[in-house]
A and B are shown apart, each in its own frame.
Chain A
Amino acid sequence: VKHASRGLNAARAALAGRRYAACRGCWLVAVAAVLSCGCAGPNLNAARDDIFLGRFDAALALLEDLPVSHPDRALHLMERGMAAQLSGAHTNAVRDWLRALDTIEALDTYSLSRGAASLAFNDSVQGFRGWPYERTLLHAFAAKSFLALGMWDDAAVEARRQIARRNTDHLRAFPPDPYSIYLSGVCFELIGDTQNAALEYRIAARLLPDLGIDPATGRFGSAVTPTAPDGELICFVGLGRAPRWAPPGAPQGRSGFEPYVTFHADGAPLGRSRTFAATPDLLAATYARLALLKGVKTVSRIALKELAAQAVAEEDRFLGELTRLLLFATETPDNRHWETLPRFLQVARVPCPRDLTRYEAAFHAPTGAVLERRTLTQPLVRRGNLAVSFIRDIPPAPRAGHIRNNL
């Protein structure tokens, strides 16, 4: 009996020691959770604001020093690339976007340490890979900068990479993006690969039946003429600001009542832009696709956190509540997005003079009222009878009206 009693006491002591160790472990986890859960950072948010105010140099200065092994490295590169493209530094833009794509590709290998951390804290500790439609648009925007540089073959390389990524995403039932698909068609058309161009145009036509895209030529709207036009201007238009998060069940994207841009050359009207994709729609569809997966993971994480808090509370109720508070304070949704993307992704394909060197763009509200007029000479590149350009409704320099609009 004496020996049994001693053994029981030793077992109790050992159990208490283990409980203490477990309690200490939970505490360490809770404190680490609070310390490690960063956010996008003030620089990134400030840079985004600068971009939308047209202060591209200020944004680039804020994003000059990139975090080396930060989970948001790809996001920084994506936003910096956008600032570079909007400022006209296309070489820097493609450099940043190609690095972002390399960073994302490296994340194909699932990190056990970060995966475990995301189960303990939240999803923000995992490397940002971009949402599927953002990854597709990354190729599309890089292709646009290659086009601006007259590097047709490289633009087509990005088109092929985009198709490869789209095929993977298609298998996982993510929503297709007709804007990127049409852009790929243009890239192929520019290098004379008309068959692959027609394939892309056909997919875009199927996704957007209301636009009447001719699968053979890619023409739509005013570009559809009985005879081939002398020259054609293809302009990729970005309007508005991508949403920061997806309100459940309320996409505010392509509805037929969107702002648009009309084009003129030497005073003669050429045509208008049409909406091919809207980021709120793409975001909402992606959220819906991932809702179940994310829900299961969040529930599992909350259960784990509750278990840890209860383990501590068995030893000390006050510490248990404190642990619960710390652990659940880190329970935030992963709302990281490429926020400088436009809300509306539009394309205009209009007949134009063959020797077009400048054009006027008028930005219209959904009601038709003209908000702003701009004359553009660049980016405007030509190959054969196709002129390619792109435009964004962000003012090139801060002006009172624009500042008020963006605020």
Chain B
Amino acid sequence: MHTRFVPVPVLLALAIGLGAGCSAFRMSVEDRNPRESNPLSAKYDQEDLLSLAELTAEALLAHPFPPAEAERPILVEMGIQNRTETHIDMQALSNTITTHMLDGKTVQFVNADKRDALLREQGYQLQNCAPETRAAIGRQLGARYMLTGSLIEIERESGRQARVSKQQDVYYQLTVELTDLETGLIAVRKQRDRLRRAGKPLIGW
């Protein structure tokens, strides 16, 4: 009778499996810096919200804006249009931009509640009203400038070919502009963008 030994590779695989299993099956929680966490997909995420908003606000205020003669002009935020293929909280993007601009202490913003109340009073919602209505509402609120904008997305994927993964490029461009409500002219317009590439496996277990 001879003794049968379990092969070393099997023991090794078992040890690795058990070792990895301990951490894999345990819940882990840790704080991460939202600006430094690795992206999980090529789509819009918190990193885009923060960086696009910050860069745009800085660019608007560095234009130079407001003009030297204007003392803390009043602005009204009238929404950024989502022209992407992704459902994005555009209010969060607007709020982050206005927060950064207010931090600069060179502009003032009409309270969004006051704006919405006036819109409701006149039978509108921010989403429903046409550009000319927005301008009229902005003037009624005593604002000198109106902040509007749009976010676009361009998505490209690698073509059909023999492969085991698919490359995906997702590009976002944020355009924000300030319109002078007295003259109807665009006072400042700034664009910021980003491109991210992701690989997606076509075959999995």
Interface residues of A (CB under 8 A from B): 98, 108-113, 150-154, 156-157, 160-161, 164, 171, 191-193, 383-384
- A160 to B83: give the CA distance in the assembly, Å: 9
Hey, which chain A residues are within 8 Å of B166, CB to CB? 108
The smallest beta-carbon distance between A234 and chain B, in angstroms, is: 16
Closest to B151 in A: A153
- A153 to B81: give the CA distance in the assembly, Å: 7
Closest to B84 in A: A157
Q: In the complex, are the beta carbons of A98 and B87 less than 8 A apart?
A: yes
Of the candidate stretches B25-33, B69-77, B175-183, B197-205, the one touching chain A is B197-205
Q: In the complex, are the beta carbons of A160 and B87 less than 8 A apart?
A: no
- A384 to B124: give the CA distance in the assembly, Å: 11
Q: Size band of the B side of the interface?
A: 20 to 34
Interface residues of B (CB under 8 A from A): 81-87, 90, 125, 127-128, 130-131, 155, 160, 166, 200-205
Hey, which chain B residues are within 8 Å of A110, CB to CB? 202-204
Q: In the complex, are the beta carbons of A154 and B82 less than 8 A apart?
A: yes
Contact of A150 among B90, B127, B204 (CB under 8 A): B127
The smallest beta-carbon distance between B126 and chain A, in angstroms, is: 10
The smallest beta-carbon distance between A296 and chain B, in angstroms, is: 19
Contact of A108 among B81, B83, B200, B205 (CB under 8 A): B200
Of all A-B residue pairs in the complex, the 6 with the closest CB atoms, nearest first, are A153-B82, A109-B204, A160-B85, A161-B85, A110-B203, A109-B201
Evaluate whether A151 and B200 lie within 8 angstroms (CB atoms) in the complex, with A157-B82, A164-B85 already known: no
- A112 to B205: give the CA distance in the assembly, Å: 5
Q: In the complex, are the beta carbons of A154 and B204 less than 8 A apart?
A: no
The smallest beta-carbon distance between A135 and chain B, in angstroms, is: 14
Given contacts A150-B125, A152-B127, A191-B81, 13 further A-B contacts (CB under 8 A): A98-B87, A109-B204, A111-B205, A150-B127, A150-B128, A151-B127, A153-B83, A156-B83, A157-B84, A157-B85, A157-B87, A160-B84, A384-B130
- A284 to B28: give the CA distance in the assembly, Å: 50
Hey, which chain B residues are within 8 Å of A164, CB to CB? 85, 155
- A248 to B203: give the CA distance in the assembly, Å: 33
The smallest beta-carbon distance between B124 and chain A, in angstroms, is: 10
- A113 to B203: give the CA distance in the assembly, Å: 10
Closest to B82 in A: A153
Identify 21 residue pairs between A and B in the complex whose beta-carbon atoms are under 8 Å apart, listed by A's number: A98-B87, A108-B166, A109-B200, A109-B201, A109-B202, A110-B203, A110-B204, A112-B203, A150-B128, A151-B127, A152-B127, A153-B81, A153-B82, A153-B90, A157-B82, A157-B84, A160-B83, A160-B84, A161-B85, A192-B130, A384-B130
Hey, which chain A residues are within 8 Å of B128, CB to CB? 150, 152, 383
Hey, which chain B residues are within 8 Å of A161, CB to CB? 85
Closest to A159 in B: B85
Hey, which chain B residues are within 8 Å of A157, CB to CB? 82, 84-87
Evaluate whether A113 and B205 lie within 8 angstroms (CB atoms) in the complex, with A150-B127, A164-B155 already known: yes
Hey, which chain B residues are within 8 Å of A171, CB to CB? 160
Hey, which chain B residues are within 8 Å of A152, CB to CB? 127-128
The smallest beta-carbon distance between B34 and chain A, in angstroms, is: 23
Q: In the complex, are the beta carbons of B205 and A153 less than 8 A apart?
A: no
Hey, which chain B residues are within 8 Å of A112, CB to CB? 203-205
Hey, which chain A residues are within 8 Å of B130, CB to CB? 192, 384
- A38 to B83: give the CA distance in the assembly, Å: 42
The smallest beta-carbon distance between B108 and chain A, in angstroms, is: 27
The smallest beta-carbon distance between A20 and chain B, in angstroms, is: 21
Contact of A154 among B87, B131, B160, B205 (CB under 8 A): B87
